[in-house]
Structure 1
Amino acid sequence: MKHPLGALHRAILLALPAFTQPVAALAQNAAEGALEASAAELPAVTITADKVARPLEKVPASVAVVDGQDAEQSGITAMDQLEGRVPGLSFQPFGQAGLNSPVMRGLTANFNSYSTSTLLLVDGVPTLTAQGFEHGMQDLDRIEVLRGPQSTLYGRNAEAGVIAVHSLPMDGEPRGSVAVEAGSRDKRALLFAFSRPLVEDRLYASIAGNWTGQDGFIRNTYTGRKEDDRERRDLRLGLRWTPGAATDVVLRYARSKYDDGATLWGAPAAARAQVASGTPSWNRSWGQTLSLKVQHALDSGLKLHSITAWNDFRDRIQQDTDFQPMDMLHVGRNNHLRTLSQELRLEGQQGASDWLVGLYGDRSDNDLQVASKTMMGLSDIRASQKGSTAALFTNWNMPLAGNWSLSAGARLEHIAVELLPLDAARQKKHWTNFSPRLALQYQFMPRHRWYASASRGVRTGGFNVLSPAMNYPAYGPEKVWSYETGVKGALMDRRMRYALVAYVMDIGDMQVMQMPTPGMMYITSAASATSKGAELDVDYLLGRGWQLRGGVAWNRTRFDRFVDGAADYQGRRNPFAPELTGHIGIRYQAPQGWYAQASLRGSGKVYLDAANRYQRNGYGLLDLVAGYRHGHWDITAHVSNAADRRYDAVGYQNGFVTVYSPPREVAVRLTWRM
């Protein structure tokens, strides 16, 4: 069966010569492929994918890195804007700010499971739910996206990968910026970030935040207003204390608050972006995080790390779902999600090898309320859900004979989940998981490496909180065995960096959300599936101010076995998993201080249900950036989705909802820097 891939596919095919021609020229004649002698090489990239700082090319895993300055100049201010810009990463189309369910390598989790398949780490602090899976990208150093199972080092929410957000360090170099932005639909934004030493070589502080407001684009014909206005406030505070050369203590606090109108929903049969809702729809969610990170170097050469974190998120929404003046159908949530986590880690070296061993534990306490009006009447589901995790993990990196090296690790994790419904008896489940990882790496040329790895990923089980009629049944953990191989390195005197990876994953006890009728939802873990794919990342410094960046990820995830009642879904695609994601872009940086960038990002189509009846079409979005920096001032203009492409998710919630895609947006930002 043929699947049209649209503008993204055509752009990638057109771009292939740009990737392959320099490599072929190098093989035929090195001189013919040489660039101008005046061109600089690409800067080195250091990441902490295995919790130890290491050059990107030496990490035996598929990793994409988004630089903080590039993110700022591209106008990235939300997590879902990484879709397409990071090949292999996408998000379920949902339309509510502050709630993101990531999709990686064909795997995802429904937000009603209060879990994720891809872990979000912000300065080492984990976010374990789709609620609060967000970051405003203020004071950003870089984003590392680890593709493939990372449960060995990161546990039950890293089954498909990890998104690690790193803030700029607090150090002896003072910095500061203030920016104002204006754009489409009366967008207004104020952004700021400051960091400076308070006591020389001892105490440092940082503060960053933003306020953003924007009118909606969904017209309510009943009230005459726009239904989906947005307002968001973010604040991030940091304090760093270095009492001595051996000790580093960092205290961070972050808070986000949303004051929005409706989710980006409408009726599939209605005119696009038009509702007639008489029931108010709103999002009043907020979240906060407090963390303490301590690092201490012992006299023996060992290093001790401790990360203590408190996550607190309030998911408060009301959403009309009949989109008519009369209140026939609506849904409301008032969930309070709290998690306390602690990690202790010891690192050391033994000869040329490095190792770490650690302990991790967390406790969650969630108060859940889902009040809705459906065709079956009023419903008010209330429950308390508690959970705990205890884990022991280790990882070793060892050189072998010649240019061979080995990375090996394992994690033993015990998880307990307890549900206390208001109208039923208490239930409790617990599971013990073992997640090993083994990676072999070979440096076959000075700047080129090959690796092969095998790893196990796990996503925890839970209870069907939205199924009181079924007595809140439990579902088991989802388990993945992943087999991966890849090559990565540098060409053209380090002016071109590349990574090419292929993988196969065997998925058992797969968790899939089913919605047979409106108001009835449940998660089943009766499916098995196979996921296979490939990922390519390229960064090419052309010279004379020009730079080409691109990447593409192909994934094929199919149910091997999935029977749910009378329905047999064998051979169907896993919901929300695109077969193709990627981007290609070119940038010019002029010596006079101005710059321009054009990029195309996108995704193949995704199905919205296990039967593959409803879908969101594939899309390719053209983004344009132009700016000028002079002295302390920087002015930048952004155009997102310049062609105003529409890629609505038609048939969400078993055919009853369309999730609208955002229209074209134009914005101008003026920034002052210290």
Structure 2
Amino acid sequence: MEQHFSLRRLPILLPFSALASLSPLAMAADTVTELPSISVSSEKIERPLEKVAASIAVVDGQDIDEQGLDSLEQLEGRVPGLSFQPFGQSGVNSPVMRGLTANFNSMSTSTLLLVDGVPTLTAQGYENGLLDIERIEVMRGPQSTLYGRNAETGVIALYSRPMDNQPRARVSAEVGSRNKHGVSFAVAQPLIDDTLFASASGSWSEQDGFIDNTVSGHKEDTRKRNNLNLGLRWTPSEKTDLVLRYARQQYDDGASLWGAPTAKRETVASGTDSYNQSRGQSLSLNASQELAPDLYLRSISAYNAFDDDVQQDTDFNPADLLYIARDHQLRMFSQELRLEGKLGAADWLAGVYLDRSDNDLHTTSKTVMQLNQLYADQQSTTQALFSHWTIPLNDAWSIQAGARVEHTKVEFQPRGGASRSLNDTHFSPKLALQYQIDADHQWYFSASRGVRTSGFNLLSPGLNYAAFEPEKVWSYETGLKGWFADRRVRYSLAGYYMDIDDMQVTQMPTPGTLYITSAATATSRGIELDLDYMLGHGWQLKTGVAWNRTRFATFRDGSANYDGQHNPFAPDYTGHLDLRYDAPAGWYGQASLVGSSKVYLDAANSYLRGGYAQVNLLAGYRLQNWELAAYANNLTEQRYDAVGYQNGFVTVYSPPREFGLRLTWNR
């Protein structure tokens, strides 16, 4: 039986639960220490979290390690306002931020992924094993001024732990439900003190599936994957810093988490082999040179490659009647070069960005009548100039101003068809006003423009691969952030309104027919709250909630009128509530509630994924260099299947409850 959870009361309950904890008894805990300061690099210049005029959530590397997070999809709910389209395939994610998202076949995303400064521009390869990560910064709201066309509604930025004179090592082994077993490691070592440093991290894991295939007699959705990261840092002088990184991810999975809406849950009768044998890798060089006091030249050169190799049964019957397959080879080179420095009391930066993508696309669609093969090449180039300034006006007031001019050209060549091209030039400004109310509290207001690139309908030869327009957003945001209770409470509260033009919406009128139209306009408004409270005596509370309302203002597609409907895949509410206790004797425990309201799967709002509230438990014990932890995820077995994905054709199953043990050695 499906369980649906409404989060209508969550935005009321979470703030009040946090405020209730600010009681005189809790405040009297004289053993409380203040929360640590957090610095972020969301503006490409490191600043304290409380000094940035934007809504930013930070996930600490220690939390990632202890909770065993190994996928970006696990950030849903843990970062209020961030979710992902239900898809069920490893290595592919399409994020949803502030009510906006992009289709997997658009070759773009609405929220940019950065890993140590290296961008990922497609849903394919939008993943990370979260190994040896120092922190994750999630910047909510348009960031196109600094990051370009794929940062329309935000950025997820991952930062690896630094390579320096401090050696470290970590090895972890895990066993869990459905025969899960895996190992991971992370090591860093100075090779020459103060000059040459190296790091390596990797993981390997396997797990049986939970979807029964009555034809083969096996589980259909087994999971196998491995990750490898290598790093080398060279500092030949105090003024020069070079970091070379290589990363690889590889999957050897069974089927996606798909089934027929009319079949018994978690059961298929597939006679067609389904698999995911995708793999990706990246190579990057991050260089910094001090040219003069307070003047730096920085360069990030990167090469990204992802092979999307998938076959998936779509009728779930013994006969080999219907299936889809992809064999995409995606390649991209990117280069950013920027100057940054100080001019009096002002911080500034100016830079140039270039990228070139070369995608070899092969899509297969098997129907009862025929086998359709689509071959195409897509190439794109981007050139951009950008600048950003932070200027203090006096002791309390300051302004931030920035702008980006970006030109993108996309060329599309279907096999057997005529070549087509698009040229877009975007101007993305940002202006923010900050007021330091006192030493612990700040107010800000910002106006910014976000852009998502145009493209071609890669799966619509019947429409002559019609083009869709760039999606454009004007966003207005105001917020408060700071500290309370002698820095034992950190808070951030933001409200925003977004006006969206040429909104890209995916339509699937019949199975196998999919196209993206840019005929809609919409508005998005919302509130985001993050709160971290050191209660004392070993107790800590973390909570956050986001409310978003994204609706079509006007959207007509043929004779259909979708005015006032929900944008697909956009939840109205997301949030989390974490309570943790660390005992002096070395053991700890944590209880977490992570939730999302329902999301609709189509523009007509005919199909939906139900809302959910997951309970996750964690307990562990540390003894010298060793740590043993036990976990239970989705303790109450919440089910939130996406019933009717792809216009009623497919159900995407939600993962079941999971238990496990981790043994870790740290040095």
Q: Which residue of 2 aligns with 1:660?
A: 653
CA distance in 1, matches of 2:239, 2:377: 43
Inter-CA distance 8–594: structure 2 relative to 1 (3 Å threshold): farther
Name 2:505's counterpart in structure 1. 512
Residue aligning to 1:566? 559
Residue equivalent to 2:233? 240
What is the RMSD of the two structures over their aligned residues, measured on CA atoms?
A: 1.2
Give the SS at the match of 2:63: helix
2:191 alignment partner in structure 1: 198
1:488 pairs with one of 459, 481, 504: 481
Report what 2:515 is aligned to. Answer: 522
Contact 1:33 1:492 in 2 (8 A): no
Note if 1:287 corresponds to 2:286: no
* 8 Å CA contact retained: 2:10, 2:545: no
Alignment partner of 2:202: what SS? strand
Provide the secondary structure at the position in 2 that maps to 1:278: coil
Q: Is the 8 A contact 1:486 1:499 kept in 2?
A: yes
Query: Alpha-carbon deviation of 1:75?
Result: 1.7
Pair 1:359 & 2:352 matched: yes
Q: Which residue of 1 aligns with 2:207?
A: 214
Match of 1:146 among 131, 139, 148: 139
Q: Is the 8 A contact 1:304 1:344 kept in 2?
A: yes
Q: 1:339 aligns with which of 328, 332, 337?
A: 332
Find the counterpart in structure 2 of residue 51 from structure 1.
44
Aligned twin of 1:444: 437
The one-letter amino acid of 1:648's match is D
> Is the 1:405–1:440 contact (alpha carbons within 8 Å) kept by the matching residues of 2?
yes
SS at match of 2:640: coil
The answer to whether structure 1 residue 72 and structure 2 residue 60 are counterparts is no
Which residue identity lines up with residue 544 of structure 2 in the other structure? Answer: G
- Residue 173 of structure 1 corresponds to which residue in structure 2? 166
3-state DSSP of counterpart to 1:528: strand
Shift of 1:21: 3.3
Is the CA contact (8 Å cut-off) linking 1:8 and 1:600 kept in structure 2? no
Tell me the equivalent position of 1:6: 5
Contact 1:600 1:620 in 2 (8 A): yes
Question: Which of 389, 392, 395 does residue 399 from structure 1 map onto?
Answer: 392
What residue number does 2:583 align with?
590
Residue of structure 1 in register with 2:264 after alignment = 271
Cα distance in 2 between the residues matched to 1:496 and 1:339: 43
How far is the alpha carbon of 1:378 from its aligned partner? Answer: 1.6
Specify the SS of the correspondent of 1:6.
coil
Which of 390, 414, 417 lines up with 1:421 in the alignment?
414
Gaps of 5+ in 1: 26-30
Q: Please say if residues 402 and 430 of structure 2, whose CA atoms lie closer than 8 Å, have aligned partners that are also in contact.
A: yes
Could you say which residue in structure 1 is the equivalent of 2:636?
A: 643
Is this contact kept in 1: 2:132–2:201, CA < 8 A? yes
- Matching residue of 2:613: 620
Q: Does 1:127 align with 2:120?
A: yes
1:91 equivalent to 2:84? Answer yes
CA offset digits 1:427-468 (Å, max 9, x no partner) = 011100000000101011210000000000000000011001
Aligned to 2:289: 296
* Counterpart code for 1:192: F
Tell me the amino acid that sits aligned with residue 154 of structure 1. Answer: Y
Per-residue CA deviations over 1:444-493 (Å, capped at 9, x if unaligned) read 12100000000000000000110011111111100000000000010000
1:16 aligns with 2:15: yes
Q: Partners of 2:4 and 2:153 in 1: how far apart?
A: 24
What is the letter of the counterpart of residue 18 of structure 2?
F
8 Å contact from structure 1 (residues 375, 518) kept in 2: no
CA contact (8 A) 2:5 2:610 kept: no
Candidates 592, 601, 619, aligned match of 1:599: 592
SS in structure 1 at match of 2:80: coil
Whole-Å separation in 1 of the counterparts to 2:394 and 2:61: 38
Q: In structure 1, what is the Cα distance between the partners aligned to 2:295 and 2:14?
A: 48
Residue 330 of structure 2 aligns with an amino acid whose one-letter code is L
**Cα distance, 1:13 vs structure 2:** 4.2
1:592-649 Cα shifts (integer Å, max 9, x gaps): 1100000000100000000000000000000000001111101111111010110000
**Code of the aligned partner of 1:380:** Q
Match of 1:631 in 2: 624
- What's 1:82 paired with? 75
Picking from 601, 605, 621, the partner of 1:608 is: 601
Asked if 1:379 corresponds to 2:372, the answer is: yes
Distance 1:35 1:311 in 2: 53
Report the CA distance between 1:16 and its aligned residue. 3.4
Show the counterpart of 1:501. Answer: 494
1:557-595 residue CA offsets vs partner (Å, 9 max, x unmatched): 000011111111000010000000010010000011100
Letter in 2 for 1:101: S
Task: Tell me if 1:412 matches 2:411.
Answer: no
Which is further off, 494-503 or 372-381? Answer: 372-381
Query: Normalising to structure 1: TM-score of the pair?
Result: 0.97
Residue aligned with 1:71, SS = helix
1:377 Cα deviation from its structure 2 partner: 2.6
Mapping of 1:220-259 within 5 angstroms? 220-259=213-252
TM-score of the superposition, structure 2-length normalised? Answer: 0.98
Counterpart contact for 2:6–2:597, Cα < 8 Å: no
Give the whole-Å Cα distance in 1 for the aligned partners of 2:422 and 2:660.
Answer: 50
1:459 aligns with 2:452: yes
SS of residue paired to 1:97? coil
Quote the residue 1:314 is aligned against: 307
Aligned match for 1:324, one of 317, 335, 350:
317
Which residue of structure 2 aligns with residue 137 of structure 1?
130
Contact kept, 8 Å, 1:292 with 1:308, in 2: the verdict is: yes
Deviations 1:55-104 (A, max 9, x none): 00000000000000011111211110000000000000000000000000
- The corresponding residue for 1:535 is 528
Per-residue deviation, 1:401: 2.7
Change (3 A) 1:467 1:66: same
Instruction: Give, in angstroms, the shift of residue 38 of structure 1.
Output: 1.9
Percent identity, aligned pairs only?
61
- Which letter does structure 2 place at the counterpart of 1:562? F
1:381-438 Cα offsets, whole Å, 9 max, x none, are 0000000000000000010134001011000000000001002100011100000000
1:438/1:425 CA distance change after superposition, 3 Å = same
Counterpart of 1:667 in structure 2: which amino acid?
G
Aligned to 1:28: none
Structure 2 equivalent of residue 433 of structure 1: 426
1:22 to 1:671, Cα distance in 2 relative to 1, 3 A: closer
Secondary structure of the structure 2 residue equivalent to 1:250: strand
- 1:36 and 1:582 mapped to 2: Cα distance? 28
- 1:5–1:346 distance in 2 versus 1, CA, 3 Å: farther
CA contact (8 A) 2:391 2:399 kept: yes
- Cα distance in 2 between the residues matched to 1:525 and 1:252: 38
In structure 2, distance between residues paired with 1:200 and 1:62: 39
- The 2-side partners of 1:303 and 1:375 are apart by 61
Secondary structure at the residue paired with 1:170?
coil
CA contact (8 A) 1:75 1:638 kept: no
Letter in 1 for 2:16: P
Measure the CA separation in 2 of the matches of 1:290 and 1:35: 52
